[in-house]
Structure 1
Amino acid sequence: MKREALLDAAEAVLFEHGTQALTLAAVAERAGVSKGGLLYHFPTKEALIKAMVTRVIDEFDDLVADYDDGSPGSYTRAYVKATFEVLTGRQGARTSRRWSAITAAASDPELIAPLREAMARWHRINPDHEPDPLASTVVRLAAEGLWEVLSHAPDAFDEQQLAALQERLLSMVAP
């Protein structure tokens, strides 16, 4: 079984049953593999959680890179577009499952460390690339707030409201 399928199984266990249910045995059962098969890829529950967190970060980084054209302010615009794609796009349901990995890691400083590092990197402003660094900061923080709201209340905004929010945030960092 491939590593990605094991991570998918772990996310499903987390999303459907919560952090208390995340055990190696539960993940192996969900994935349809022996516990030994799971342990080959992830020797501990902590290794599994770290891999899930890393995947969330890597996928977001890839989306941002896809949207970032290198022009002034484009990083923040890319950040907003990636955020909305993750939250409302074709990956929406998968995103909810994946975000549960962050929840699982949140109580352990070692497991959440990669996300803290990514957050610091994502929110570090390069004044040479951002025409209005303060506006860029506000826009990225608003995008973070949207992640938080939608992780707890996925139906807080309808499609039209979300489109309007995205448009407004992008206008705040328009070229």
Structure 2
Amino acid sequence: MRRDELLNAAEDLLAEQGAPCLTLAAVAERAGVSKGGLLYHFGTKEALVSGMIERLISDFDELVAAGPPGSYSRAYLDATFTAIRSGRLRRWAVVTGAAGDPHLLTPLREAMARWHRTGLADEPDPMAARIVRLACEGLWDVVTHDPESYDEPALDALRARLLALLPAT
């Protein structure tokens, strides 16, 4: 069993049943492995939650890096919509998993601060860039709570409108 498959099982469990149901035994069962197999990769529940947070940050950083050059906010927007459409980056599930220990959220808080500060001085309109990034955050949170809230045409329209807020670089 690979590490990502275990993290997927934990995220699925959190998304479906919430933090009280996140136990190592439940994750192992969901992933179809022994508890020992899970413990090989994640020795504690906290290590499992930390693994989910680290993966979320890394995955989003990779999406931003793959975005269009020249504007961090445009890359951030593209990364957000890719994350939403793929359904892979379920921040709500990860945050729910860490709810019992705010210390576990420190890396996510630090990444969020970095994501919202990076490149603002290089943007033609820093306030528009902030608005777009905040709108992305709101959309991501809404969609993680209610995946059916926006269909593809609605997402396309939102993305186009947010892009229109960002001056060309």
Q: Tell me the TM-score normalized by structure 1.
A: 0.88
Residue segments in structure 1 that go unaligned for 5+ positions in a row: none
SS in 2 for 1:39: helix
Letter in 2 for 1:87: I
Q: How many residues align?
A: 168
1:76/1:136 contact within 8 Å kept: yes
Letter in 1 for 2:133: R
Partner Cα distance (2:62, 2:13) in 1: 25
1:27 and 2:27 aligned:
yes
Q: Which residue of 2 aligns with 1:173?
A: 166
Letter in 2 for 1:156: S
Q: Which residue of 2 aligns with 1:76?
A: 73
Residue segments in structure 2 that go unaligned for 5+ positions in a row: none
1:64/1:79 contact within 8 Å kept: yes
Partner Cα distance (1:62, 1:140) in 2: 17
Partner Cα distance (1:122, 1:106) in 2: 22
Deviations 1:68-93 (A, max 9, x none): 41x2xx110010111111112xx12x
Deviations 1:105-136 (A, max 9, x none): 13422111111001000001534421111110
2:124/2:167 contact within 8 Å kept: no
Q: Which residue of 2 aligns with 1:110?
A: 103
1:28 to partner: Cα distance: 1.3
Partner Cα distance (1:79, 1:62) in 2: 11
Partner Cα distance (2:99, 2:77) in 1: 23
Q: Tell me the TM-score normalized by structure 2.
A: 0.91
Partner Cα distance (2:112, 2:100) in 1: 17
SS in 2 for 1:67: coil
Question: Percent sequence identity over matched residues?
Answer: 58
Partner Cα distance (1:16, 1:128) in 2: 40
Q: Which residue of 2 aligns with 1:119?
A: 112
1:125/1:133 contact within 8 Å kept: no
RMSD of aligned Cα (Å): 1.7
Partner Cα distance (1:6, 1:68) in 2: 32
1:148 to partner: Cα distance: 1.8
Q: Which residue of 2 aligns with 1:87?
A: 84
Letter in 1 for 2:76: Y
Q: Which residue of 1 aligns with 2:58?
A: 58
Residue correspondence of structure 1 range 7-22 to structure 2 within 5 A: 7-22=7-22
